[in-house]
């Protein structure tokens, strides 16, 4: 069967209403396209958890700052459709910006707390754009569950907070990070990397694993962070936005001494114009 594609809220709701009438459960997987194995692992999890799976494809302009890569963000709808068809996705929802942001659009969702550190500092516009677009997608589709990758761990926590706070009737599930052979977290933005940068990129997860191991063995968090930071620069990263241990649940800063609570390491580092993030 060819993958059905809808581009309007009315068409999306008509399909979901038909499924509901037949008593079928629905999972939603929001994406910005340029699909890779990480996205497809979310689709597989969605298929295991629900009767029908909707993937959304929307490169959301409001989560990019003017100086960021909205215009050059990789777009490959034809390939995405082929991959989703192969993955037995049931519906692709690919709205236009005009559908998502009608004339006079003036509403924004702001989640405080978990959205503030890390990417919230480095990209101040980002989580407001993400929360608003994800709220819209959830309200438009009305799924039972929605699946997000732990690759974007802070985003996952922001969405969980928003869904609880706004009583949105959906269960949010996190999915593990899919990685390349050398451990680099798969990302649509990896396509920007030159072969030389791609080699350096593979060091990010290795440096992080070393720091996490040192802390797991009782080492001081501030030492592990300083060593990790220096190691990334030595490996050839151009700039580091953060390399920080935080509590896995509320993202509160840990350290400087040995870890208490549930430590999770978060990093964002630049290779040229490409910003890579990882956590674990």
Q: Annotated catalytic sites, by residue?
A: 39
Q: Out of 55, 91, 175, 200, point to the residue binding ligand AMP (CB under 6 A).
A: 175
- Closest approach, Cβ 25 to ligand AMP, in A, equals 19
Instruction: Please report whether residue 93 would count as binding ligand AMP according to CB under 6 A.
Output: no
Contact 270, 232 (CB under 8 A): no
Q: How far is the CB of 36 from ligand AMP (least distance, A)?
A: 7
Give the residue, chosen from 152, 225, 241, 278, that forms a contact with ligand AMP under the rule CB under 6 A.
152
Q: Which of 177, 197, 205, 274 binds ligand AMP (CB under 6 A)?
A: 177
Binding flag, residue 94, ligand AMP (CB under 6 A): no
Q: How many residues bind ligand AMP (CB under 6 A)?
A: 17
Cα dist from 267 to 15, 72, 138, 198, 237, whole Å: 40, 23, 29, 17, 12
Q: Which of 6, 15, 26, 42 binds ligand AMP (CB under 6 A)?
A: 42
275 belongs to the binding site for ligand AMP (CB under 6 A): no
Query: Shortest Cβ distance from residue 187 to ligand AMP (Å)?
Result: 5
By the rule CB under 6 A, 145 interacts with ligand AMP: no
Residue with tokens 């993400």: 130
DSSP string, 155-208: HHHHHHHHHHHTT-S-EEEEEPPPB-TT-PBP-GGGGG--HHHHHHHTHHHHHH
Asked if 268 is part of the footprint of ligand AMP (rule: CB under 6 A), the reply reads no
Regarding 149 and contact with ligand AMP (CB under 6 A), the answer is yes
Q: Is 136 in the site for ligand AMP (CB under 6 A)?
A: no
Q: Rounded to whole angstroms, how far apart are CA atoms 44 and 20?
A: 21
Rounded distance between C-alpha atoms, residue 254 and residue 169, angstroms: 33
Q: In the bound complex, what is the minimum distance in angstroms from residue 120's beta carbon to ligand AMP?
A: 16
Nearest to 246 by CA among 235, 227, 234, 260: 260
CA 122/CA 130 separation, integer angstroms? 15
Do 23 and 34 touch, CB atoms closer than 8 A? no
Q: What is the CA radius of gyration of the chain?
A: 19
Among 41, 154, 190, 205, binds ligand AMP (CB under 6 A): 41
Q: Is 32 in the site for ligand AMP (CB under 6 A)?
A: yes
Q: Which is nearer to ligand AMP, 178 or 259 (CB)?
A: 178
Nearer to ligand AMP, 94 or 254 (CB): 94
For the segment 180-219, give every residue that binds ligand AMP (CB under 6 A). 185-188
Tokens of 30: 């929001």
Is 31 a binder of ligand AMP (CB under 6 A)? yes
Q: What residues contact residue 127 under an 8 Å CB cut-off, 6+ apart?
A: 111, 115, 119, 120, 154, 155, 158
CB atoms within 10 A of CB 69: 14
Q: Pick the closer one to ligand AMP by CB: 149 or 263.
A: 149
Contact footprint for ligand AMP (CB under 6 A): 31-32, 38-39, 41-42, 148-149, 151-152, 175, 177-178, 185-188
């Amino acid at each position: 069967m060819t993958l059905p594609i809808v581009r309007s809220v009315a068409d999306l709701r008509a399909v979901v209403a038909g499924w509901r009438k037949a008593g079928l459960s629905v999972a939603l997987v929001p994406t910005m396209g340029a699909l890779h194995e990480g996205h497809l692992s979310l689709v597989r999890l969605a298929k295991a958890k629900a009767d029908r799976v909707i993937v959304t494809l929307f490169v959301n302009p409001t989560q990019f700052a003017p100086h960021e890569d909205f215009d050059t963000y990789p777009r490959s709808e034809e390939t995405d459709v082929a991959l989703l068809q192969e993955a037995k996705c049931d519906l692709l929802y690919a709205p236009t910006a005009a559908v998502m942001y009608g004339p006079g659009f003036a509403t924004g969702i702001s989640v405080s707390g978990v959205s503030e550190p890390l990417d919230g500092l480095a990209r101040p516009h980002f989580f407001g754009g993400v929360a608003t677009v994800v709220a819209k997608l959830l309200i438009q589709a009305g799924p039972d569950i929605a699946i997000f990758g732990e690759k974007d761990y802070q985003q996952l926590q922001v969405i969980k907070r928003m869904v609880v706070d706004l009583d949105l009737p959906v269960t949010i599930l996190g999915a593990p990070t899919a990685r390349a052979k050398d451990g680099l977290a798969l990302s649509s933005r990896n396509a920007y990397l030159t072969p030389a940068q791609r080699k350096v990129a593979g060091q990010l997860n290795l440096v992080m694993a070393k720091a996490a191991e040192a802390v797991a063995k009782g080492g001081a968090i501030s030492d592990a962070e300083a060593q990790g930071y220096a190691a990334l620069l030595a490996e050839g990263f151009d700039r580091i936005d953060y390399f920080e241990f935080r509590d896995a649940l509320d993202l509160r800063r840990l350290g400087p001494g040995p870890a208490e609570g549930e430590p999770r390491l978060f990093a964002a580092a630049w290779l040229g114009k490409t910003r890579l993030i990882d956590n674990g």
